[in-house]
């Protein structure tokens, strides 16, 4: 494969920077259980990498419309906040991001999570200090798998998609990254390698230690 001339790295948050996908799914499930709404684990997994609003909008429109969307979102946030003490960085991320910053590459956090969630996590882990730009659910009209969040990040950083790498852990995120014209590394924290490859990932890694920056030729 042709060497990527790397200038910018865009990171998804849940499952890439922080080990939180399972906490989000638990909070979503607890919200449904609180109202007696039946669901399957497969249904929850389909929303990995997508916004809370899209999940609860589907619930409201197709499963149970007795509780307003805003109420469901607030309840999920409360459950998630109660699980935050279990939060930690994904293995290898902090070492990797330090190398990235030493190389003076541009970085952005591009997440389908809400600003509320980012702020809560930041209080615990100070994660926003690693990034030049933060894109959250509220910043775009459309969300992953639509490329709009990544396109907005590229625009705000004045970055070229041809010199940008996106790191994702979900099918929806990989689809969004590829639609934005970027190379995408799929991290197997949420899905297996075959699933990420089938979604279109250019590289598959089980751990950040496998993503050798030296493989890429940096440009400034």
Confidence of residue 79 (pLDDT cuts 50, 70, 90): very high
Question: Same domain, yes or no, for 96 and 146?
Answer: yes
Question: Same domain, yes or no, for 207 and 115?
Answer: yes
| Mean pLDDT score across all residues of the chain | 92
- 13-57 pLDDT per residue, tens: 999 999 988 899 999 999 999 999 999 999 998 998 888 999 999
Query: For residue 207, what is the domain's CATH number?
Result: 3.40.50.1000
Question: Same domain, yes or no, for 34 and 70?
Answer: yes
| Total count of domains within the chain | 2
Average pLDDT over residues 85-100: 93
Nearest Cα residue to 190 out of 25, 69, 2: 25
Boundaries of domain holding 59:
21-85
CA distances from 129 to 167, 210, 213 (A): 18, 24, 21
Q: Three-state SS for 32?
A: helix
Question: Same domain, yes or no, for 95 and 75?
Answer: no
The predicted pLDDT at position 2 comes to 52
Q: Using alpha carbons only, how large is the chain's radius of gyration in Å?
A: 17
The predicted pLDDT at position 86 comes to 84
Nearest Cα residue to 80 out of 155, 147, 18, 160: 18
Question: Same domain, yes or no, for 110 and 66?
Answer: no
Please, are residues 158 and 141 in contact by the beta-carbon 8 Å criterion? no
Question: Same domain, yes or no, for 157 and 66?
Answer: no
26 Cβ partners below 8 Å, 6+ apart? Answer: 79, 83
CA distances from 202 to 2, 92, 117, 211 (A): 11, 20, 29, 12
- 154-202 pLDDT per residue, tens: 999 999 999 999 999 999 999 999 999 999 999 999 999 999 999 999 9
Question: Same domain, yes or no, for 15 and 25?
Answer: no
State both tokens at 117: 């969630």
pLDDT over 70 (residue 9): yes
Which residue has tokens 């790498």?
A: 165
Chain CA centroid to CA 94, Å: 16
Question: Same domain, yes or no, for 203 and 98?
Answer: yes
Least confident of 72-76, 162-166, 209-213: 209-213
CA distances from 184 to 80, 92, 136, 161 (A): 28, 18, 19, 11
The predicted pLDDT at position 217 comes to 41
Question: Same domain, yes or no, for 62 and 78?
Answer: yes
pLDDT over 80 (residue 3): no
State both tokens at 15: 């499952």
Which pTM was predicted?
0.84
């Amino acid at each position: 494969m042709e060497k990527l001339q790397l200038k910018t790295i865009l990171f998804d948050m849940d499952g890439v920077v922080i080990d939180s996908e399972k906490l989000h799914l638990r909070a979503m499930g607890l919200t449904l259980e609180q109202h007696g709404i039946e669901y399957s684990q497969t249904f929850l997994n389909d929303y990995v990498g997508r916004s809370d609003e899209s999940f609860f909008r589907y619930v409201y429109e197709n499963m149970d419309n007795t509780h307003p969307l805003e109420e469901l979102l607030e309840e999920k946030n409360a459950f998630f906040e109660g699980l935050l003490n279990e939060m930690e960085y994904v293995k290898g991320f902090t070492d990797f991001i330090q190398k990235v910053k030493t190389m003076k590459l541009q970085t952005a956090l591009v997440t389908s999570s809400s600003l509320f969630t980012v702020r809560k996590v930041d209080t615990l882990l100070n994660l926003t200090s690693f990034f030049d730009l933060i894109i959250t659910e509220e910043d775009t009209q459309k969300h992953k798998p639509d490329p709009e969040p990544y396109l907005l990040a590229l625009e705000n950083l004045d970055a070229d998609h041809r010199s940008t790498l996106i790191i994702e852990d979900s099918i929806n995120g990989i689809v969004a990254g590829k639609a934005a014209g970027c190379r995408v590394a799929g991290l197997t924290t949420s899905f297996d390698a075959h699933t990420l490859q089938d979604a279109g990932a250019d590289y598959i890694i089980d751990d950040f230690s496998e993503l050798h920056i030296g493989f890429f030729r940096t440009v400034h």
